[in-house]
Homo-oligomer: A and B are copies of this chain.
Amino acid sequence: MKEIITSIENQKIKNIRKLLENKNILKEKKFIIENDNLIEEAYKNEMLLEAYALIDYDNYLNLDLIYVSEKVMKSISDLKSTPKIIGISKIKENNELGEKIVLLDNVQDPGNIGTIIRNCVAFGVDTLVLSKDCANIYSKKVLRSCVGMIYNINIIIEDLENIIPKIKEKNIKVISTALDATSEINQINKDKYAIIFGNEGNGIREELIEKSDMKVKIEMSAKCESLNVGVSSGIILYNIFRGKHE
């Protein structure tokens, strides 16, 4: 007979509910994940701390499950339809700076952050640095749009002003994307770079542009002023990545 947690006042369950609030995620250094795909990724990456499931969940990964009643599951999920399983994932703690770095300055849309993570993994970026005022990277909206890629990259949350000197110490050039730029994407060193992408409405803060070693722009028709930040990051990272092979 399997034991089932049926009380929403159970201490474990209360602790999970805390993680529904973004502010507690960074404090507790863990986050809720909600679909098979993401739970599988967490498991494979040895980041899965616990998994809570309904009694009829098809445990195809043979996970060590904690069973809960439907009422309890409802209390720890904010999805419209109650999931059959939720997992608790560790936050990957690796503050090491690689040599292929993307920095985000106050990016606010969780969908954009998820898309950028996906682009980074697709095109070989090893480190993603988010300024503290970016949207929460461990929120469900980000997790949904990055389709499980979150374990494939080092994530650092830090003021960009603090991290830029460390990048320069490593002899890596800091690059801003700016409309008045004069450099082209193909002038970026393919093996070592740190590229900043800015806020959706305001772009990169002036102080950070001033600290950059190089400014690049994406050539486009005069009819269009700017691109979505997920798209710009995709175009720049793809062209750096492909430059290698040519």
Contacts and interface: CB of A to CB of B under 8 A. Distances in A.
Interface of A: 111, 115, 118-119, 121-124, 145, 147, 149, 152, 218-221, 223-228, 230-232, 234-235, 238-239, 241-242, 245
A234 B227 contact: yes
Given A145-B228, A231-B231, A223 B115 contact: no
A221 to B, nearest CB: 5
Q: Is the interface of A mostly helix, strand, loop or mixed?
A: helix
Rank and list the top 9 A-B pairs by shortest CB-CB distance, nearest first. Answer: A231-B234, A122-B224, A122-B220, A121-B224, A115-B228, A235-B238, A152-B223, A121-B223, A234-B235
Contact of A115 (B122, B147, B231): B231
Given A111-B111, A235-B234, A235-B235, A118 B221 contact: no
A242 B220 CA distance: 8
Contact of A234 (B225, B226, B234, B245): B234
Quick one: copies of this chain in the complex?
Answer: 2
A123 B221 contact: yes
Nearest to A234: B231
A122 B241 contact: no
Contacts of A227: 118-119, 122, 234
Contacts of A234: 227-228, 231-232, 234-235
Nearest to A145: B228
Contact of A149 (B123, B224, B242): B224
B228 A118 contact: yes
